[in-house]
Each structure stands twice: as C-alpha cells, then as structure tokens.
C-alpha cells in the first residue's frame, strides 16, 4: 500500500448560504465515510496563497489554484484514481489531481 495525495482545484468553492454549506460538508463526510480506512488524513481546504519562485521571487495567488487536499492509502495509482472519482468537488465543477506520495 502507498499513500496518495488528492489535490483539489476549481469548482464553485464553499457555499455562502449556511444550509448549502452544511449540505456540502455532509457530502464530504459521507464520501470520507465511504473511503473508510483508506483515509490517512482528511486534509483541509486552502485559503489565500503566495508562490515562491526561482531566486526568491514571490507572486500572489498560488501557482496551481489548489483549493484543498487529502491523503489516502491505496494499492496503486489507478486504485487511488478510482477512489477520487467519488469526490464531491467533481459535482461543483472542480477536479482532483492524484499524486503518489513518495517517502523521503
């Protein structure tokens, strides 16, 4: 088993309306429940960002538009991709990049 990072991007973000927001959170909770022991770390949503580039240059906004992350355990990259297909961010126009986490 290896760990994989789900990097979330895009979508409409967290709803401003409390009822809609609670419904979104409930979908995430249900999905994490379906993933069960595959969830290594639920992760977090991300906020404002800056990017540090070559020579120490700094720009606003983050280079990838990351909106959150999670870490899961799976037998292969393809198995992790299958897990990602149920992610609620996909329902609101977002995407999930799946990366193998390589121990250093």
pLDDT > 90 fraction of the chain, expressed in percent and rounded: 70
Q: What pLDDT sits at residue 103?
A: 87
Over residues 33-58, the mean pLDDT reads 93
Spatial separation of the C-alpha atoms in residues 82 and 103, rounded to whole Å = 22
Number of structural domains (the chain) is 1
pLDDT in tens, 58-91: 999 877 788 899 999 999 999 999 999 999 999 9
Determine the 3-state secondary structure of 83 from DSSP.
helix
Three-class DSSP category at 50: strand
- Please write the tens of the pLDDT for every residue from 19-34: 988 998 999 999 999 9
Q: What is the CATH number of the domain that holds 42?
A: 3.30.70.1060
Read off φ and ψ for residue 94, nearest 5 degrees: -90, -175
Strand partners, 96: 8
pLDDT value of position 17: 86
> Domain span at residue 41?
2-100
Instruction: Give 23-30 contacts, CB < 8 A, sequence gap 24+.
Output: 24/88, 24/92, 27/88, 27/91, 28/88
């Amino acid at each position: 088993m290896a760990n994989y990072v789900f990097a979330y991007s895009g979508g409409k973000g967290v709803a401003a309306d409390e009822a809609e927001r609670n419904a979104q959170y409930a979908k995430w909770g249900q999905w994490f429940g379906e993933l069960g022991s595959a969830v290594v770390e639920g992760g977090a949503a991300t906020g404002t960002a800056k990017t540090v580039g070559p020579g120490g240059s700094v720009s606003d906004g983050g280079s990838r538009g990351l909106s959150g992350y999670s870490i899961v355990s799976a037998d292969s990259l393809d198995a992790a991709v299958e897990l990602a297909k149920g992610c609620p961010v996909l329902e609101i126009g977002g995407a999930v990049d799946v990366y193998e986490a390589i121990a250093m």
